[in-house]
């Protein structure tokens, strides 16, 4: 299944707030219309609940079905809780780190910055959005005025919207350039997407 490129508000209305996909909020009038129908589920299957949580993770982080399945497989082979490791793997992706630093307003926007070679990791250009960042990695901007203008504008908008840089990251300003530092692996309690990650693992349990 390919990456979703359709209307974002449609997805948000169906799956609730997805901070990585868009800053738009669910349409409340649409929610009221749904409630008036008094819909009752035909059976008590947990599949729809697991599917919805899986879709929320996939759309928020901008992944294909195959990519998310691969992350679940990697998480299962790692030490510790599979569900916690899964979210840590997703949060440490380069495109997500750029978004969380405020260098991009959404994860799709961050992915575009990486693909267009605006971003450096430890002073080397990285154009792979799925690059897995590690503690002590330095995220900087390509030494071109256009690159700096784009990212400075995004950071100013993020700060204006009172978007906070999470505790595991640090955004520094050296002269006229911003630099991001990955201090440590993120704590699952500080993940911006409110998700039951265990349901996502359960959804893929028969395929891993």
- Give 134-147 pLDDT, tens digit per residue: 999 999 999 888 89
Dihedral in degrees, nearest 10, Cα atoms 54, 68, 163, 184:
120
Cα separations in angstroms, 116 against 16, 58, 122, 146: 30, 23, 17, 12
Q: Where in the chain is the domain with CATH 1.10.1050.10?
A: 8-89+192-203
The third-level CATH classification (topology) of the domain covering 8-89+192-203 is Ribosomal Protein S4 Delta 41; Chain A, domain 1 (1.10.1050)
| pLDDT value of position 2 | 61
Q: Where in the chain is the domain with CATH 3.10.290.10?
A: 93-182
CB 140 within 8 A of CB 122: no
CB 202 within 8 A of CB 63: no
The two three-digit tokens of residue 120, written as one number: 């450096």
Strands 177-182, 124-125: pairing is unpaired
CATH class of the domain defined by 93-182: alpha beta
Range scoring the smallest mean pLDDT among 22-31, 91-100, 117-126, 150-159? 22-31
Looking at residue 160, the DSSP 8-state letter turns out to be H
Percent of the chain with pLDDT over 90: 58
- Give the other-Cβ count within 10 Å of 160's Cβ: 8
Tens digit of pLDDT for each residue in 6-53?
Answer: 777 777 777 877 877 876 677 665 444 444 455 455 555 789 999 999
The two three-digit tokens of residue 134, written as one number: 């590690």
Tens digit of pLDDT for each residue in 61-109?
Answer: 999 999 999 999 999 999 889 999 999 999 999 999 999 999 999 999 9
Burial 171-191 (b: 16+ CB within 10 A, else e): beeeeeebebbbeeebebeeb
Comparing 47 with 162, which gets the higher pLDDT? 47
For residues 181-198, average pLDDT: 85
For residues 116-133, average pLDDT: 96
| pLDDT value of position 41 | 52
CA-based R_g, the chain, Å? 18
pTM assigned to the model: 0.83
């Amino acid at each position: 299944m390919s990456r979703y490129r359709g209307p974002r508000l449609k997805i948000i209305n169906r799956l609730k707030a997805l901070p990585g996909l868009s800053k738009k909020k669910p349409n409340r009038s649409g929610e009221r219309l749904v409630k008036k129908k008094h819909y009752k589920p035909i059976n008590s299957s947990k599949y729809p609940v697991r599917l919805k949580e899986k879709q929320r993770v996939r759309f928020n982080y901008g992944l294909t079905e195959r990519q998310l399945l691969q992350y679940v497989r990697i998480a299962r082979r790692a030490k510790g809780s599979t569900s916690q490791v899964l979210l840590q793997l997703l949060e440490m992706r380069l495109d997500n780190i750029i978004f969380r630093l405020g260098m991009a307003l959404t994860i799709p926007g961050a992915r575009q910055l990486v693909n267009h070679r605006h971003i450096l990791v430890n002073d080397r250009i990285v154009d792979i959005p799925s690059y897995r960042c590690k503690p002590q990695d330095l995220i900087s901007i390509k030494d071109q005025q256009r690159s700096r203008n784009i990212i400075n504008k995004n950071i100013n908008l993020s700060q204006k919207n009172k978007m906070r840089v999470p505790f595991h990251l640090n955004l520094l300003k050296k002269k006229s350039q911003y630099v991001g530092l990955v201090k440590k692996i993120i704590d699952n309690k500080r993940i911006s997407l409110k998700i039951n990650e265990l349901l996502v693992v359960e959804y893929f349990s028969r395929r891993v």
